[in-house]
């Protein structure tokens, strides 16, 4: 594969500036290794594993499948009964992982410990102010998440076209653009807006190696850009999920003036979402997916997908943009 060389590829030791999102129940060794073997950066999701020891075993399993760099996502969420984050962090460090993606609530303790152990830290955030705070904290790179994304896009509702550019104007560390990316056009756009690469979650769900049911992959394929719901808006924890009967019901209940979170809690449990992904029963629970569903047309292998994105991006830069009057381009071979 002919590479696209950026600060992110050099920092992470990868060939293509493409990072796999750290998705709950999806970021397992099969997918992470496939993305890394394809030239991108695969990501294991720490909290998908029931215990820190299970995470140690999953890291070891991933190493059996790839000798390329891969990372681990650790997302810190406010909770009445939080998981043992410090123990998960120790499992990551003790296992010799050199790249971590952090996200979520008050990451300083984790960032500082990772940095003290020589780990490269990418921090995912949804606002310029949060990116600047993370940069001051000492993270090595920012993953900036536009409103189009699956998962939690924040409460500012700023789409990527504006958010990536606004962040690039102020952030000095390398930046990865996240939310709405699926092809070479998106990669070129991200580079033009000031990012050094892209992060893809939903697009990697629709690949051969994604460890989810084939009916879920086909569901993503059949959806278009309108096929999502925004949930938890009333509770100031907005999430974007695929539109199905469960998310429709969550939206309807939440619209009631007297609705409280307990009214929807049974519908949005992680166990139900996992059941949907593993059994292919689309209406068993929430399926987290972004507006980029409208750009997904097939279910390739990760190797095919990464190679295609790089090829498309290089062709766009070399021909379409270079062919415009006054426009020149140069991409490292």
Question: Does one domain contain both 236 and 309?
Answer: no
Rounded to 10 degrees, what is the CA torsion of 289, 295, 299, 302? -80
235 and 305 belong to one structural domain: no
Percent of the chain with pLDDT over 90: 92
Show Cβ contacts of residue 324 under 8 Å, excluding neighbours closer than 6 positions.
none
- The sign of the torsion formed by the CA atoms of 128, 86, 287, 182 equals positive
- The domain tally of the chain equals 2
Are 197 and 253 in a shared domain? no
Are residues 16 and 33 located together in one domain of the fold?
yes
Asked whether residue 25 falls in the same domain as residue 66, the answer is yes
The answer as to whether 333 is a domain residue is: no
The residue that leads in pLDDT, 289 or 81, is 289
What backbone phi and psi angles, to 5 degrees, belong to 90?
-65, -40
Query: Which DSSP state fits 316?
Result: I
- The pLDDT of 247-270, averaged and rounded, is 96
pLDDT band at 320 (very low <50, low <70, confident <90, very high): confident
pLDDT tens for each residue of 42-79: 999 999 999 999 999 999 999 999 999 999 999 998 77
Which residue spans within the chain are E strands per DSSP? 18-20, 42-45, 70-76, 99-104, 120-125, 141-145, 175-178, 197-200, 228-231, 239-242
pLDDT tens by residue, 135-145: 999 999 999 99
| Stretch 18-36: mean pLDDT | 97
pLDDT digits (tens, 9 = 90+) for 203-244: 999 999 999 999 999 999 999 999 999 999 999 999 999 999
Give me the count of residues in the chain: 333
**Structure token digits, residue 81:** 């009964």
In a domain, 113, yes or no: yes
Could you tell me the pLDDT band of residue 323, with boundaries at 50, 70 and 90? low
Band the pLDDT of 2: cuts 50, 70, 90: low
Q: Do 182 and 309 reside in the same domain of the chain?
A: yes
Instruction: Work out the pLDDT band at 327, boundaries 50, 70, 90.
Output: very low
Q: What is the reported pLDDT for 321?
A: 72
Q: Looking at residue 81, what is its pLDDT?
A: 82
Provide the CATH number for the domain around residue 185: 3.20.20.70
* Range with lowest mean pLDDT among 1-5, 120-124, 278-282: 1-5
Structural domain includes residue 205: yes
Q: Are residues 75 and 192 in the same domain?
A: yes
Residues 177 and 312 in one domain: yes
Q: Give residue-wise pLDDT tens across range 77-93.
A: 877 789 999 999 999 99
**179 domain-assigned:** yes
The pLDDT value recorded for residue 329 is 44
**Would you state the pLDDT for residue 143?**
98
Local confidence band at 333 (pLDDT 50, 70, 90 cut-offs): very low
pLDDT (0 to 100) of residue 163? 98
Same domain, 75 and 63: yes
Distance of CA 168 to the CA centre of its chain: 19
Q: What is the reported pLDDT for 69?
A: 98
Residues 80 and 186 in one domain: yes
Whether 329 is in a domain gets the answer no
Structural domain includes residue 326: no
Residue span of the structural domain in which 270 resides: 214-291
| Mean pLDDT of the chain, nearest integer | 95
**Are residues 196 and 77 both part of a single domain?**
yes
Same domain, 59 and 203: yes
């Amino acid at each position: 594969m002919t590479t696209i060389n950026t600060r992110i590829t050099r920092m992470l030791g990868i060939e293509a500036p493409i990072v796999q999102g750290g998705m709950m129940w999806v970021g397992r060794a099969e997918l992470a290794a496939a993305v890394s073997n394809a030239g991108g950066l695969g990501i294991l999701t720490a909290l998908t594993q029931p215990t820190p020891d299970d995470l140690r075993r999953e890291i070891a399993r991933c190493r059996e499948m790839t000798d390329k760099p891969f990372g681990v996502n650790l997302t810190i969420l406010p909770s009445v009964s939080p998981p043992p984050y410090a123990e998960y962090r120790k499992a990551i460090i003790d296992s010799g992982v050199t790249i971590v993606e952090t996200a979520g609530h008050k990451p300083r303790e984790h960032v500082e410990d990772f940095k003290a152990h020589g780990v490269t830290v990418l921090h995912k955030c949804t606002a310029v102010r949060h990116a600047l705070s993370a940069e001051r904290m000492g993270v090595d790179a920012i993953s900036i998440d536009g409103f189009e994304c699956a998962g939690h896009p924040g409460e500012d509702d700023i789409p990527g076209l504006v958010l990536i550019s606004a962040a690039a104007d102020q952030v000095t560390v390398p930046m990865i653009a996240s939310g709405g990316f699926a092809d070479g056009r998106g990669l070129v756009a991200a580079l033009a807006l000031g990012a050094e690469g892209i992060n893809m979650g939903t697009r990697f769900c629709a690949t051969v190696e994604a460890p989810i049911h084939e009916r879920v992959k086909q569901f993503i394929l059949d959806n278009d850009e309108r096929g999502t719901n925004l949930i938890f808006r009333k509770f100031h924890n907005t999430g974007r999920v695929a539109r199905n009967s469960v998310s429709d019901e969550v939206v309807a209940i939440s619209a009631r003036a007297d609705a409280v979170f307990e009214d929807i809690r049974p519908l949005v449990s992680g166990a139900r979402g996992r059941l949907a992904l593993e059994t292919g029963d689309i209406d068993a629970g929430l399926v987290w997916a972004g507006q980029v569903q409208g750009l997904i047309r097939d279910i390739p292998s990760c190797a095919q997908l990464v190679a295609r994105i790089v090829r498309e991006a290089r062709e766009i830069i070399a021909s379409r943009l270079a062919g415009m009057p006054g426009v020149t381009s140069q991409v490292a071979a």
